[in-house]
Amino acid sequence: MSFVITRRTYFNPAEKALSLMRLGFRTGKGDDSDTSHETRSMYTILLYDEGAQGKTELGGGQLSRLSLMERLSKDFNPILLTSENGVLAEEARKRGISVLVKNITESQNRFTRSELQASPHLAILSSLSLAKATIRLRQIIREIDPDIIHPNENLSRVLTVAATVGMDVPCVMHIDGEWDSSYIDALMRRLYVRSFDRLIAVSDEVGDAFGDDNRPANIQTIYPGIELDRFENVGEPTEPLPNPDERLVLTSVGALIPIKGHETLLHALSGLDLEFVLYIVGTGPLKSYLESLVRNLGISDEVHFLGFREDVPEIYAQTDIAVTPSLSEAFPRVVLEAMASSIPVVASDVGGIGEAINDDRTGILVPPKNSDAFASAISNLAKDPDRRQRMGIAGRERVAERFAFERGVEQVEAVYRDLIQSRG
């Protein structure tokens, strides 16, 4: 399927504002009647995301898209469309992003892949639910009349593909996860490549791997980047950290799920002959298991689970070495954040991590699932504070040169403009 898109040559701001108000549109300030954005914005970007339903925390991809929408120039009017007035909508409003909450999908009829495979009845029910959602989404798109649709996770992407058949609106998506070789994933990749006007890969690694053989022409790499000023002149953590008592401070930031590789790190640390503390920042279903593993390995006094924290820059400011033992990563924001904090990173050489870290200059890359390699890298850095300092300085410089957030925003804006103007 391909899109034939014609750029609007005019619109009536008042008429569009009335249409959005009928939909139940709310601005970032929560004022139903505030439509001032209509008179100053040229292009409407519809960010569509169904991935936060029932969740209490946002993923890295969602935070990155919200940061992108927040920083778009005044030529663009971003609107978040979602089915739940939950954590995603709340965070968008905090950032001044306009929010439209509509019950597009039925959360009670959302099932896992294994559940659908095991029950034909559930598969039929899910298909009917998706068909209804497609009709609802298509009507909303017609009402909003966006210049760009940017769905942000797989359910939103599939619904967008179905809802925009025959509609003249460009569609953009980010590739910010690694895909496997299963039949379903291969089918989804082909669907997205054929249906979306532009696919933005967060690293060359994930972009190159998205096609069947060669990289499709409509895939473009744009590194997400981070806001450097957030990591300058930071203060104390909002909550006191466990006292390191002059020991080496290690920090690992990431959800407590298997793919983040915490088990590898804990086994590595259990054999180290040095004084250290490890701060693990994040929450997830593996917390109880990892706490039990820590006790069994005899490192309970050294390892501290800090839970979800919003003061990561302040924690990094107290850190000597950041550690990212992931088994798979598209392009981890936490690595850039550590480098922006002028601390070296020891990380698995997977996904796009090698595009962020300059091995042996800004950090050390090691094979995934290799506890001995992690132990060796950490031990070597622990014994050489001058090397840690050099790596930290080089890491900060690398982020400033290649991964500044403003650069990524400008590149995405260029994609939006190109797609809109090419239809004009």
What residues does 148 pair with on adjacent strands?
45
What is the number of domains present in the chain?
Answer: 2
Same domain, 396 and 300: yes
User: Is 310 found in the same domain as 392?
Assistant: yes
Same-domain check for residues 44 and 145: yes
Note whether 79 and 208 are same-domain residues: yes
- Whether residue 217 is found in the same domain as residue 236: no
Here the tokens at position 329 are 């990563």
Co-location of 292 and 365 in the same domain: yes
Q: Which of 20-34, 97-111, 155-169, 400-414 has the lowest mean pLDDT?
A: 20-34
Instruction: Tell me the Cα Rg of the chain.
Output: 23
pLDDT in tens, 197-233: 999 999 999 898 887 777 889 999 999 888 899 999 8
Which DSSP string do the residues of 351-364 spell out, in sequence order? Answer: TTHHHH--BTTTEE
**Is residue 47 a part of any domain in this protein?**
yes
* CATH classification of the domain holding 100: 3.40.50.2000
What digits encode the pLDDT tens for the residues 92-137?
Answer: 999 999 999 998 986 544 545 454 445 555 444 456 778 889 999 9
Average pLDDT value for residue range 237-261: 94
Give the pLDDT of residue 278: 98
Please tell me whether residues 181 and 262 are part of one structural domain: no
Please list, in sequence order, all residues whose beta carbon lies within 8 angstroms of the beta carbon of residue 111, skipping any fewer than 6 positions away.
Answer: 122, 126
How far is it, in rounded angstroms, from Cα 419 to Cα 404?
A: 24
Specify if 278 maps to a domain.
Answer: yes
Helices (H), 145-211: 154-163, 183-195, 204-210
Separation of alpha carbons 152 and 97, rounded Å: 15
The answer to whether residues 415 and 345 belong to one domain is no
| Average pLDDT score over residue span 345-369 | 96
